[in-house]
Structure 1
Amino acid sequence: MSSTRRAHLRTTHDDPEVVRAAVEPDNTDSMHTTVEGNTLVATIERDSTGGLQSTVDDYVVNVTVAQTVIDDTRTHTDTNHE
């Protein structure tokens, strides 16, 4: 008998739709993301604890990189307009 492991992650962003669009191509069938206000909500389901941990780790890295690139791009753009 196998049970599904599930994680719900909530991260807050100035523009969560942009972050969602950046990470969505890397999402697998076991992942679902939605936006609630300024919060990006991800639900991840896997059959094993190890698989869930790996997928959560990958997702967190992807969100972190996406937000960093967005922030750096905005900083660079803002600097060029001064």
Structure 2
Amino acid sequence: MTTDRTVDERQTDAARDASRTARLRTQHADAETVAAALRPDNTDAMETVVEGNTLVTTVSRATTGGLQSTVDDTVVNLTVADAIVDTTRTHSYE
């Protein structure tokens, strides 16, 4: 027997099944733009919230290895997005 389930129900199950969680708090000159750059790569196991100039990304995964991989990818993406935002803010190409 199969049961049709909504995306929200599947996401709730994924969060409930996740036993490992990491919260990354990073500060940025333009946190909204960095968050927008990261959102396309976010999975159902991730949540990103902007609090002023701070970006809070919470990752929940079922395994430590999965959590580590997702956090590693997120840190690289944060670094690149922040560098691009910083470069565009400090250089004028007129």
Name the TM-score class by shorter chain.
Answer: 0.7 to 0.9
Structure 1 segments (4+ residues) deviating >2 Å: none
Q: Which runs of 5+ in 2 are unaligned?
A: 1-16
Conservation of the 8 A alpha-carbon contact between 2:30 and 2:85: no
TM-score (norm 1): 0.87
Counterpart check, 1:27 vs 2:42: yes
Shift of 1:23: 0.6
Between Structure 1 and Structure 2, whose CA radius of gyration is higher? 2
* Partner residue, 1:63: 78
Structure 1 residue matching 2:59: 3-state secondary structure? strand
Q: Which runs of 5+ in 1 are unaligned?
A: none
Q: Aligned pairs, how many?
A: 78
Shift of 1:37: 1.6
TM-score (norm 2): 0.77
Same amino acid, percent of matched pairs: 62
Conservation of the 8 A alpha-carbon contact between 2:47 and 2:57: yes
